[in-house]
Chains A and B, each alone.
Chain A
């Protein structure tokens, strides 16, 4: 759980949190489409180690570039940057660069990721490497992810050592600062405009590293692209950025940026461009809104006579549900949908008719 900036006074303090995750992917005509999620929140945190009055400010930015699918696999290039400072002007920095390869199954899939980088106080002089693999499966509106990761922080003798947490036993120095394995699980469920998630991570390693972290979080989407987010839990220490574990509770806003409005931070990637979903179904709600139910995807679009046949992104409702913002006028309408820049499809729940151009188009009657 990355939180930033955080201000800590002694053991318990108010906490301000801001995290950002961006995703870029190839768009039409060679353009690059950028989307992401920005979380802004406030709350309280009780650190696992006394800070003796130290305050801490931290920020993090992660980004990924998703390339077109190859052999049914979705490759991504990932990168991240983070920084933390305290009043003694100790600035900790970290950066990493890596890759992730995911399968494209609509309900079940897996991923394999690796990243290398550097981190440390004063300068990012400590090597960091991470290997991760995981599985995901959806059960109707619910989803489950399981993963294991191996992280090594520090690979050589360091001049003067590095403090990776505020104090105490989390201060590490020497050839190998930390070497641990995380076993993680995350369960999610989306009902209407509300998404709820439960996260549990068990860290395995030497006696000073073994911890269990958990988090319960929820997002209530008040409007397309704007959600009320809350979270409570106990985080793990983040070696290299001098952030100890903490019990915390936050409340804030989640802002969806660009074309991927509701993707949760650090979720495993969903099926991507060029792969047609197995099925998609259209539902017209009583208030004349078009809802599409489809396989897991990072992006869905609709085009039709109500958009002047220009693609318009759908807003994710969670659990494979997407909705066109605003009501559609009563009458006969024609439309197509697509997922992750794949081919345009006639969704189920519409009448497939000849479009006059050698293809098909969906027709729906909105009462």
Chain B
């Protein structure tokens, strides 16, 4: 009797854990198989003290765009991997917003040493805006090295959020012509 009871408890615990990990917003937007796959990734994120919201949002984005289930799980897994890389550099106590911005910066070409440098330059404040500006500049056509040099210089000089945004506006290529 002891073995079936233990198995039942394990199943119950797993079910409870998975249910807690699932977000109610995913119900009805994902099929059960995809939902289970995403729930596993959400469990893993929470276990590692990573923000789960970016994973939920990526899953919802995939559902909204009609992506097949396996592709949604794969995209969510990629987001989780980015967050893990960012956390490995910034430390387990990094703010969720900083982790999200750092993962975007890594995707744009930043290296872990760059993230560590910006963390050292801005030890007290958040680094989401400097990293967001870096990502913005790279995606706008600036080289990784040029974008990083500008952002890192301003960070070392103690620039505030508005100064980073001003930097972005100065360096970003002009927007294509359009309606005023």
Q: Show the binding face of A for B, using Cβ within 8 Å.
A: 106, 140-141, 278-281, 293-295, 303, 305, 308-310, 320, 330-332, 334, 344, 348-349, 351-353, 355-359, 361, 363, 365, 367
Q: How far is the CA of A141 from the CA of B180 in the complex (A)?
A: 8
Interface of chain A: mostly helix, strand, loop or mixed: loop
State A359–B79 Cα separation when bound (angstroms).
Answer: 16
CB distance from B23 to the nearest CB of A (A): 10
Query: Once the chains bind, are A353 and B78 in contact (CB under 8 Å)?
Result: no
Q: List 13 A-B contacts (CB under 8 A).
A: A279-B176, A320-B179, A332-B128, A349-B175, A351-B139, A353-B107, A355-B75, A356-B74, A356-B75, A357-B71, A357-B72, A363-B139, A367-B129
Task: Known contacts A293-B180, A331-B128, A367-B162; decide if A357 and B67 are in contact (CB<8 Å).
Answer: yes
A246 CB, min distance to chain B CBs, angstroms: 38
Give the A-binding residues of B (Cβ under 8 A). Answer: 25, 53-54, 57-58, 60-65, 67, 71-72, 74-75, 78-79, 97, 100-101, 104, 107, 128-129, 132-133, 135-136, 139-140, 161-162, 164-165, 175-180
Name the distance in Å between A284's Cβ and chain B's nearest Cβ: 9
Q: How far is the CA of A309 from the CA of B60 in the complex (A)?
A: 6
14 extra interface residue pairs, beta carbon distance < 8 Å, beyond A279-B176, A279-B178 = A279-B177, A303-B64, A308-B25, A309-B57, A331-B101, A331-B128, A332-B97, A351-B136, A352-B139, A353-B104, A353-B107, A356-B58, A356-B71, A367-B129
**Closest 4 pairs (CB-CB, A-B):** A365-B132, A356-B75, A279-B178, A351-B139
- B42 → chain A closest CB, angstroms: 15
Closest residue of A by beta carbon distance from B102? A332
Contact of A334 among B61, B72, B132 (CB under 8 A): B61
* A280 in contact with B178 (CB, 8 Å): yes
Q: In whole Å, how far is B66's beta carbon from the nearest beta carbon of chain A? A: 8
Instruction: Provide the residues of chain A in CB contact with B135, threshold 8 Å.
Output: 332, 351, 363, 365
A363 and B179 in contact, given A352-B139, A357-B75 (Cβ under 8 angstroms): no
B64, B162, B175, B176: residue with the most chain A Cβ atoms closer than 10 Å: B64
Residues of B within 8 A of A355 (CB): 61, 65, 75
A293 contact from B78, B97, B178, Cβ within 8 A: B178
B57 touches A348 (CB 8 A): no
In the assembly, what is the distance between CA of A308 and CA of B62, in Å? 11
In contact, A308 and B60 (Cβ under 8 angstroms): yes
Q: Determine whether the beta carbon of B57 is less than 8 Å from that of A353.
A: no
Residue of A whose beta carbon sits closest to that of B79: A356
Given known pairs A303-B64, A357-B62, the reply for A293 and B179 (CB within 8 Å) is yes
Give the A-B pair count, Cβ closer than 8 A: 99
Q: Which residues of A contact B60 (CB under 8 A)?
A: 305, 308-309
- Measured between beta carbons, the chain A residues less than 8 angstroms from B63 are 309
Q: Which residues of A contact B65 (CB under 8 A)?
A: 344, 355, 357, 359
Which residues of chain B are near A356, meaning CB under 8 Å?
Answer: 58, 62, 71, 74-75, 78-79
CB <8 Å contact, A348 and B61: no
Contact in complex: B178, A363 (CB < 8 Å) = no
A353 CA / B139 CA spacing, docked (Å) = 8
Taking CB atoms, residues of chain A closer than 8 Å to B139 are: 351-353, 363
User: Of the candidates B25, B140, B162, B179, which one forms a contact with A351 in the assembled complex, judged by CB atoms under 8 Å apart?
Assistant: B140
In whole angstroms, how far apart are the Cα atoms of A365 and B161 in the complex? Answer: 11
Please state if B178 and A278 are interface contacts (CB–CB under 8 Å): yes
Q: Bound state CA distance, A47 and B132, in angstroms? A: 63
- B129 near A365 with CB under 8 A, answer yes
- In the complex, chain A residues whose CB is within 8 Å of the CB of B140: 351
Q: CB < 8 Å: which of A278, A332, A359 contacts B101?
A: A332
Q: Which of A141, A280, A331, A352 makes the CB contact (< 8 A) with B100?
A: A331
Quote the shortest CB–CB distance from A92 to chain B (angstroms): 44
CA distance A141 to B95 in the complex (A): 42
Complex CA–CA separation, A141 to B179 (angstroms): 9
CB distance from B31 to the nearest CB of A (A): 16
Chain A residues whose CB sits within 8 angstroms of the CB of B107 once the complex forms:
353
Instruction: Identify the interface centre among B72, B133, B135, B179: most chain A CB within 10 Å of its CB.
Output: B179
- Residues of chain B within 8 A of A361, CB atoms compared: 61
Question: How distant is A125 from chain B, measured CB to nearest CB, in Å?
Answer: 49
What's the least CB distance linking A359 to chain B, in Å?
Answer: 7
